[in-house]
Amino acid sequence: AQRVTQPEKLLSVFKGAPVELKCNYSYSGSPELFWYVQYSRQRLQLLLRHISRESIKGFTADLNKGETSFHLKKPFAQEEDSAMYYCALYNTDKLIFGTGTRLQVFP
């Protein structure tokens, strides 16, 4: 079955530290993967999509088909990056979300 796993519920770092939010997926075929972010009191919004290979707000994510991973990375965390991050896989007609990781960036 298609599934997205985010093993960390909470990730806490200090400002300026590197960040890696983990995402693993199970899917037969070529996956279409996304990272969505939800800032406090805001709606869920797209952060990046793997096929566009863009860097948004300094975040990047590389698809590793061998490890079935799509980890989200940022070299230097900022306080404004504190939010809930969801990894998602698109399958046929729906997004399949992970349970999310809360990122806390301390000053």
Partner 1 sequence: DAGVTQSPTHLIKTRGQQVTLRCSPISGHKSVSWYQQVLGQGPQFIFQYYEKEERGRGNFPDRFSARQFPNYSSELNVNALLLGDSALYLCASSLRGADTQYFGPGTRLTVL
Q: Shortest gap between Cβ of 2 and partner 1 (angstroms)?
A: 11
- Amino acid letter at 62? D
Q: Are 52 and 75 in contact (CB under 8 A)?
A: no
Does residue 53 interact with partner 1 by CB under 8 A? no
- Among the listed residues 49, 56, 60, 68, the single contact to partner 1 using CB under 8 A: 49
Instruction: Give 17 or 51: the residue with its C-beta nearer to partner 1.
Output: 51
Nearest to 31 by CA among 92, 100, 84, 101: 92
Q: State which of positions 83-102 bind partner 1 (CB under 8 A).
A: 86, 88, 90, 92-100
Q: Shortest gap between Cβ of 53 and partner 1 (angstroms)?
A: 14
Q: State which of positions 6-45 bind partner 1 (CB under 8 A).
A: 34, 36, 43-45
β-strands 32-38, 83-91 pairing:
antiparallel
Nearest to 72 by CA among 44, 107, 81: 81
